[in-house]
Amino acid sequence: MKLSIVVPVHNENENLRPLIEEIAAAVAGLGEYEIVYVDDGSRDDTLARLVALKSSFPALRVLHHIRCCGQSTALRTGVQAATGEVIATLDGDGQNDPANIPAMLEAWRELKQSGKLALIAGYRRHRKDTGWRKFSSRFANRIRAALLGDETPDTGCGLKLFDRALFLKLPYFDHMHRFLPALAQRAGAKVVSVEVNHRPRTLGQSKYGTWHRLWVGIWDLIGVMWLQRRAHVPDVEEI
């Protein structure tokens, strides 16, 4: 089994080497792996630094969007290009801890015993963010959970692990990465949340504004609710 670690980035030149070093150390004992970075139209020297890092990290692959298309599109690009059966994703800002990947992989293996596709979602119980950001995230998560019934306390965590085949079955739209648990359940997959470490951002700047995410999220939420109500997952048997 091969593991692909997919990391979308936009203007994260300062965080590249430290995070890649951590990823390589975390997954070194897990068998065959690759690290797939997707540069989403960065305006700094992120792409040049990634290309230079390939000589130090043979498992590193670099994909590039000529223009910025957003995190969901960058994630999709990485998963489509990945060659592993299992995908681990994390944000490129260094706040997700790659050391959590082995435990998430073990949780995925246990969930797979049911014979179904599976997704493990990270849960940042102790977030290292500003008070306003933590409040707005908790509020959004409660509203989303109440309307979608996905039983996932933290869909905004970038640290997730799932079957590549599962992701490729999901409907694609901008900002879909915020609804992966609900979309996975819609596809008939099993979803489990596990607590993961969360760290403060020490380099670079956040790319997200709360109010913009709020208004976009409302429309996305309505769309996902529509998709849920139109879903049918049949139990198929061959006669």
pLDDT in tens, 169-224: 999 988 889 899 999 999 999 999 999 998 887 776 665 554 445 555 776 777 77
Residue 132 has pLDDT above 60, yes or no: no
Q: List the domain boundaries for the chain.
A: 3-229
CB atoms within 10 A of CB 118: 23
50 pLDDT higher than 90: yes
Spell out the residues 6+ positions from residue 114 whose beta carbon is closer than 8 angstroms to its own: 190
143 pLDDT exceeds 90? no
What are the angstrom distances between the C-alpha of 158 and each of 72, 121, 178? 11, 8, 9
Mean pLDDT of 69-87: 97
**Structure confidence at residue 189 (pLDDT):** 93
* C-alpha–C-alpha distance, residues 156 and 43, integer Å: 25
pLDDT at position 211: 46
The band of 227, judged by pLDDT with boundaries at 50, 70 and 90, is confident
The residue that leads in pLDDT, 105 or 237, is 105
For residue 120, pLDDT over 80 is answered with yes
Looking only at the bridges linking them, the beta strands covering 86-89 and 118-123 are unpaired
Pairwise CA distance, residues 172 & 79, whole Å: 12
In SS3 terms, the chain reads as: CCEEEEEEECCCCCCHHHHHHHHHHHHCCCCCEEEEEEEECCCCCHHHHHHHHCCCCCCEEEEEECCCCCHHHHHHHHHHHCCCCEEEECCCCCCECHHHHHHHHHHHHHHHCCCCCEEEEEECCCCCCCHHHHHHHHHHHHHHHHHHCCCCCCCCCCCEEEEHHHHHHCCCCCCHHHHHHHHHHHCCCEEEEEECCECCCCCCCCCCCHHHHHHHHHHHHHHHHHHHHCCCCCCCCCC
Band the pLDDT of 238: cuts 50, 70, 90. Answer: confident
Whether the per-residue pLDDT at 134 is higher than 80: the answer is: no
The predicted structure's pLDDT at residue 135:
56
Predicted pLDDT at 200 = 80
Distance (Å, rounded) from C-alpha 73 to C-alpha 67?
11
CATH number of 3-229: 3.90.550.10
Look at 194 and 126; give whichever has higher pLDDT: 194
Alpha carbons 145 and 153: distance in angstroms, whole number: 7
For 85, residues 6+ apart whose C-beta sits below 8 A from its C-beta are 1, 2, 163, 164, 165
